[in-house]
Amino acid sequence: MNAHKEPFGQTAEGQEVTLYTLTNSKGLRARITNFGAALVSLHVPDRNGTLDDVVLGFDDLQGYLTQTAYIGATVGRYANRIGKGRFTLDGVEYKLAINNGPNHLHGGTRGFDKVLWTTQEAVAAEDEAWVKMTYLSADGEENYPGNLTCTVTYTLTNDDELRISYEGTTDKKTIINLTNHSYWNLGGHASGDVLGHELMIDADRFTVIDPGLIPTGAIASVHDMPLDFTRPRPIGSRLHQLANGYDHNYVLNGKAGTLRLCAQAREPRSGRVMTVQTTEPGIQLYTGNYLDGTLVGKGGHPYHKHAGFCLETQHYPDSPNKPEFPSVVLEPGQKYTSQTVHQFSAK
């Protein structure tokens, strides 16, 4: 195992940004930057042992400073949408930025994807290497309550796993919902659309949404619907039955809080397989519906519609306004924890 760091440029305020490279004994290589605590690249072998980068991203910091697609980033303080940008805690209403139609998305105008995280350590051990980063979101930042201290740790193992672990503590009652917003393309980031990927999601139900993609509160079965991935299906096989593509939250089977299988994706041409486990109650499938070729990624490659898919492990959208959903409230003295594990193979 190896952990290496190098400069990755400066923010407009002159802050030095760093790029970390974690490599395992089989050649898997993950690169992470402390700007937005983002996964920049992940090189994984295909069935012939050929490495390719399976996440969308940018060659330099400028791409991350200017993008609006959250590519690779850690998103928060609240991942996904909050209806009308409002929620109430203990009788106090908090009004958040409206940055997605009439709603609040991914933490607001300057969410966790647009801040510089402080690196605590980058370590290589015998069987794993990791980089650990923290961010203090001050009381009132983006109008959220409480000084919230968050930690995200990326760990690469010799079992070909990329683990992403989150922790959070607060000094005032608040809400929290963190996820990683990587766009995956197991054929390689520049290989075209992902509609031929075979996807399985271990979820029999989903949260029904209104036209603004806000849950109504109802939970319905996925069976006999285009949302049914209970057995492996090509992502594109029924995508045409939806208005624009997938942007839906699935209610995962199994017990939330325990690490369990939630999804598996396979790219037939390369043979690459990604298995995902999480402790979260839900997962958002998003198929890059708003990519339009204007974002130019690594190697000068433009990212067009459906160039990648996201599997955002999470609590459900708009949970602060849906008391029947699993709680996203964090109290002083409590610790928020979440873990998601991506494991790679080829066949």
pLDDT tier for residue 213 given thresholds of 50, 70 and 90: very high
Q: Are 3 and 121 in contact (CB under 8 A)?
A: no
How do residues 250-295 score in pLDDT, each as one tens digit? 999 999 999 999 999 999 999 999 999 999 999 999 999 999 999 9
Cβ neighbours for 337, distance < 8 A, ≥ 6 positions apart:
165, 166, 167, 168, 279
Whether 243 has a pLDDT exceeding 90, the answer reads no
Task: Report the CATH number that the domain containing residue 236 is assigned in CATH.
Answer: 2.70.98.10
> Residue 123 above 90 pLDDT?
yes
Q: Which of 104, 181, 197, 315 is catalytic?
A: 181
pLDDT level of residue 336 (50, 70, 90 thresholds): very high
H/E element, 61: helix 61-66
Residue 155 has pLDDT above 90, yes or no: yes
How far is the C-alpha of 111 from the C-alpha of 337, rounded, in Å? 19
Q: Which tokens sit at 40?
A: 């920049």
Whether pLDDT at 300 is above 90: yes
Give 246's strand partners.
none
Stated pTM of the model = 0.98
**What does the DSSP 8-state code read for residue 177?**
B
State yes or no: pLDDT of 164 exceeds 90: yes
Q: Is 181 known to be catalytic?
A: yes
Say if residue 344's pLDDT is above 90: yes
Catalytic-residue membership of 189 = no
Residue that is written with structure tokens 């190896």 in the block: 2
The residue segments making up the domain with residue 152 are 2-346
Cα torsion 290, 301, 6, 276 to 10°: value is 50
Torsion sign across C-alpha atoms 322, 278, 263, 192: positive
Instruction: Evaluate if residue 302 carries a pLDDT over 90.
Output: yes
Q: Which position among 142, 267, 312, 315 bears the catalytic label?
A: 312
Mean pLDDT across the stretch 314-336? 98
Provide the pLDDT confidence category of residue 242 given band limits of 50, 70 and 90: very high
What's the rounded mean pLDDT across residues 212-220? Answer: 97
* Range 170-191 average pLDDT: 98
Give the count of domains, the chain. Answer: 1
> Strand pairing of 179-180 and 336-346?
unpaired
Nearest to residue 199, comparing CAs of 185, 213, 209? 185
pLDDT at site 273: 98
